[in-house]
Amino acid sequence: MPSNNNGFADMADHLGKISEVDPRKISLKSLEKAANFYTQQLIPKIPKSLLKKKHMADQVKVIVNDDRVKVMFNDTTFYWRFAENGTVNQRAQHFASGTYEQEKSTIEELMTQDILKLWRG
C-alpha cells in the first residue's frame, strides 16, 4: 500500500499554525521595534538649536496608530525638514536620511525578524 508522505500534511499543519496568529499584530510589533531602534540611533545625530527653544531631539517619538508606525517630531514637525534638507541660508545636514542609510540593514532585519521566526516554526 503506498505511503501518503508527500509533505502536504506537514505543510498543512505548519500553515495552520501560521494562520492562527494575526499578522498585523506581528508586523506592527516588528515595525515598532525597528522604529524605536531608529529613534535611538537618530537622537544623538539631531542638530541642536542655538536658540532657547524646544530642541528637535527632545521632540522625537514613535506613534503606533491602527495599522501604521510613525517616527515624528512633536512640536517641531514643520521645522525638522529645514535642517534635514537645508535652505538658501542653511546647508543640508541629512541627519534623518543619513541615519536610516547607515542603519538600514539592522532596521530591515528588525522589521522581518518576528515574521520569519513565525514562518520557520
What are the tens digits of pLDDT across the range 53-64?
778 888 889 988
What's the whole-model pTM score? Answer: 0.72
d(CA 10, CA 53): 61
In a domain, 12, yes or no: no
Question: Does residue 51 lie within any of the structural domains?
Answer: yes
Q: Is the pLDDT of residue 31 over 90?
A: no
Check pLDDT > 90 for residue 76: no
Rounded to the nearest integer, the mean pLDDT of the chain is: 78
Does residue 111 lie within any of the structural domains?
yes
pLDDT reading at 40 higher than 70: yes
- Inform me whether the pLDDT recorded for 71 exceeds 50: yes
Please tell me the distance from the alpha carbon of residue 111 to that of residue 28, in angstroms, as a whole number: 9
Q: Give CB contacts under 8 A, 24+ apart, made by 46-55.
A: 46/83, 46/95, 47/83, 47/93, 47/95
pLDDT above 50 (res 1): no
Q: Is residue 103 part of a domain?
A: yes
**Per-residue pLDDT reduced to its tens digit, 77-87:** 777 888 888 89
Total domain count, the chain: 1
Mean pLDDT of 4-33: 63
d(CA 3, CA 1): 7
Structural domain containing residue 41:
22-120
**Residue entry with cell 545625530:** 45
